[in-house]
Chain A
Amino acid sequence: MDEARKAENQLLSEVAEHGYDEAATFAIKLAVEEAVNNAIKHGNKYDRAKAVEICFDVGPDRAEVIVTDEGVGFHPENVADPTADENLEKPTGRGIMLMRAYMDEVCYNGKGNQVRMVKRKP
Chain B
Amino acid sequence: MTHQRAYQLDVDVSRVGPAAVVKVRGSAGMNEADLLQAELSQLADEPKGLIVVDMEGLEFICSAGLGALVNAHLKSRDRDGQIRLVKPQARVLKILEATRLDTLFGIFADLDEAITA
Contact = CB atoms under 8 A, between A and B. Distances in A.
Q: What's the dominant secondary structure at chain B's contact region?
A: helix
B104 interface: yes
A9 to B, nearest CB: 10
A36 B95 CA distance: 18
A73 interface: no
B100 A83 contact: yes
A77 interface: no
Interface of A: 1, 5, 23, 26, 29-30, 33-34, 36-37, 82-83, 88-95, 97-98, 101
A88 B100 contact: yes
Contacts of B68: 91
Given A88-B100, A97-B99, A37 B66 contact: no
A76 B32 CA distance: 26
A5 B7 contact: yes
Nearest to B104: A88
B10 to A, nearest CB: 17
Interface in B1-57: 7, 29-31
A65 to B, nearest CB: 15
Contact of B60 (A30, A36, A37, A95): A30
